[in-house]
Amino acid sequence: MVILLAADSSYKDKKVITIGIVSELTGLTERQIRYYEERKLVFPYRTPGGSRRYSFADVELLVEIANKIEDGVQTYEIRQEMVKQKKRNEAEEHKKMIQGQINAHFGIRKK
């Protein structure tokens, strides 16, 4: 059996960690982690049985969130910044795609 991973798929993005382990890794309580999910700051995968699964990227994000909360930043502000960052990332990806299409159309190659 051969398992192929997508080129952009990273072990950091695989949602395999239980909430208990995330709690141990981050020092956050399970209740805090669930609260951050309720506030739409983190999006765990749900198994068919309803268990949450987190990725290493989620763990890093939860630590960032906890640090911001400790510094007095409100969850609403964190969410707003996450939305802005996502839009910036999407705009940058769109720009790269358009530039690639232009380059391909005119036969421009990067050096």
Mean pLDDT over residues 3-28, rounded? 84
Is 16's pLDDT higher than 50?
yes
45-46 vs 52-53, strand pairing mode: antiparallel
Report domain 10-73's class: mainly alpha
Over pLDDT 90: what percentage of the chain?
81
Joined tokens for residue 96? 């790269």
Model confidence pLDDT, tens digit, residues 45-68: 999 999 999 999 999 999 999 999
Is the C-alpha dihedral spanning 76, 78, 81, 82 positive or negative? negative
Model confidence pLDDT, tens digit, residues 70-82: 999 999 999 999 9
Q: Indicate the pTM of the whole model.
A: 0.76
d(CA 35, CA 110): 46
33-47, 55-69, 90-104: which range is least confident on average? Answer: 90-104
Q: What is the dihedral of CA 92, 9, 36, 90, to 10 degrees?
A: 10
27 Cβ neighbours under 8 A, 6+ residues apart: 66
Q: How is the chain split into domains, by residue range?
A: 10-73, 74-111
Looking at this protein, which amino acid is placed at residue 81?
E
Q: What share of the chain is helix, strand, coil (3-state, %, to 5)?
A: 60, 5, 35
